Structure 1
Amino acid sequence: MTGLHQRLQETQPVLLQRFQRMIQAGKMSHAYLFTGAAERLDMTLYLCQALFCDEPLQGLPCGQCRSCRLVESQTFPDIHLVEPVNRMIRTEQVRDILTQVSQSGIEGEAQVFVFEDAETMHLNGANALLKSMEEPTGRQYFFFLSQSSEKILPTIRSRSQYVYFPETGQHFQKELERTGLLKTQAQFLDHLLQGRKNLLDTIGQAWCLELERQVFTWLQRFLAGDIKSFVALSGLVSLADDKDKQGLLLDTIEILLGQEVPARNRLSLLEDLMEARRAWQANVPLLTSLERFSLKNL
């Protein structure tokens, strides 16, 4: 192991394995939103190595070839890094980068666009990206990096695959355990809340843990093909009486799907759940969005 792989193996082993499976299956998304710990940039570069590696090993980047070395040093010509200027990613910066989206890469067909501190992107800039994200021409990949998802524009989040990087050392989880929670409960809350202590203060541990219990019960019936799980959705949705809680309900379903569904069946379910989330973000009622998801997969 060398370079990026070594660091990710030490700091984000679970996410590294997840992305390695995705790379080997050829299932890389064209747009990602990475939030949380600093390793979000390392993972972005590792995925870029997977795109450009000259000598892949069992489908994974070798980390040693010329392209892998250039990617790790952030000097590969087909990776375009956009950073805030005076605390903002301006519309002009996005428009400049869009002129390159229509062009072919220098080293190959793929091009990668990385937006650091993506929460600082101006609304007009985000809107300018939409067509390229929704109708990519050729092999374009977009990475949006941020410490927190809360300030990311809905136009970006709804069109990206969202991945949270837990802080190294699991500080929030340990803090929750010190309050008397079981380790499994603390792990769930850490994953669900992504360090958003203010949200936990507002909603409360008890509500979050009850939500996990009820979603788990519903999910077992749903995965067994029980048609009554469709009827039970209305009771599940009634637990979430505001936008924050509805978002956490969707997050809980996603977390538990990842834990309970074998890898070979997981991807299509998560993609359908993302469609349900996008519909909800576009103001389709949550119950309607989840009913469509349920009917498609029962």
Structure 2
Amino acid sequence: MEIAEIQPQLFGQFSTILRQKKLSHAYLFSGSFGSFEMAIWLSQAIFCENLTDGIPCGRCRPCRLVVKQEFADLHLIVPEGQTIKTAQIRELTQVFSEAGYEGTRQVVLIRDAEKMHPNAANALLKSIEEPESDVVVFLLTNNENMILQTIKSRTQVITFPKNTLYLQELLEKEGILRTQAELLAETSDSLETALSISQQSWFIEGLKKLQQFVKLLKTSTDETFLYLSELTDTFDDKEKQDQAFDLLLQLLAQEKMSSHLLKTFKAVRMWRSNVRFESCLAFVVIDVYDN
């Protein structure tokens, strides 16, 4: 996907920044819809050999290597397991203190920045505050509230809203039915994620069962309780259950079932606190009807 299509407004803003040569030294990109693609495109602009009014050509050697994440002066940090460890950040000390291999400039790109260990975050803070070389830092996160305030205050925070209509159109072009594409676009943060979910063997069956569950919520408490086992059989692990709640929230919103919607938000919080999936769904049913 082209970043100009994914985030046209932000693409325009950053194009102006590049033309004016006013790129900041540190950014926090909040939201995953196109944030990585934007960071890569801006990295191309930093290293490109054939800039046109500040815009990267996309064809020269540095541009091609940046896209492949193989350029020597592009340093990509991702979590090891569920955490970005302190040692990973400390290894960047040389990046912040010396010039690059191919030129003077370097880029540090950290994905899932909210997963930094507190010591790692503090180590990065010191490097951002006192860089000894020409380094641009891109921090990418889905939850900026989990980023240290001291880091946020030293970066430019850019929010990446989800372009739902664009994502839905792409999904339909991939052959996904409109109703399914609409739900996937609402609940997924990228085309890749949406396509991956749509291709899972449980998705079509699970969606139909959730639609039936919503239908029963409108009519019969007893039948709805009996139907819970159908959902637990299909959504039998944490990843599927997470997706089930996302889809259920969208279905309830479409049907304008506000009471059930509020109870489902509570149920999600219960589930994240390790309450059983079936018990959380039962809470939605009994709590609504008892009130």
> Is 1:138 paired with 2:133?
yes
- Aligned match of 1:28: 23
The equivalences for 1:161-200 within 5 A come to 161-169=156-164
Is 2:56 the counterpart of 1:68? no
SS in 2 for 1:56: coil
Q: Cα gap change, 1:24/1:122 in structure 2, threshold over 3 Å: closer, same or farther?
A: same
Determine the C-alpha separation between the residues in 1 that align with 2:92 and 2:130.
Answer: 16
Question: TM-score, with normalisation over the residues of structure 2?
Answer: 0.55
CA-CA distance at 1:122 after TM superposition: 1.1
Within 5 Å, which residues of 2 pair with 1:1-298? 7-169=2-164
Cα offset for 1:170?
5.8
Q: In the aligned structure 2, how far is the partner of 1:41 from the partner of 1:98?
A: 23
1:21-46 Cα distance to aligned partner (Å, 9 max, x none): 00111110100000113310000011
Which residue in 2 is equivalent to 1:181? none
Does the Cα contact within 8 Å between 2:98 and 2:133 map onto a contact in 1? Answer: no
Query: What TM-score do you get using the length of structure 1 for normalisation?
Result: 0.54
Larger Rg: 2
Identical positions, percent: 43
Number of aligned residues: 167
Is the CA contact (8 Å cut-off) linking 2:48 and 2:62 kept in structure 1?
yes
Structure 2 match to 1:226 = none
Where do 5+ consecutive residues of structure 2 fail to align?
Answer: 167-248, 250-291
Query: Quick one: distance in 1 between partners of 2:9 and 2:79?
Result: 30
Q: Is the 8 A contact 1:37 1:168 kept in 2?
A: no
1:51 CA displacement: 0.6
**SS where residue 138 of structure 2 aligns?**
strand
Give me the whole-angstrom Cα distance separating, in 1, the residues matched to 2:95 and 2:25: 16
Displacement over 6 Å in runs of 4+: none
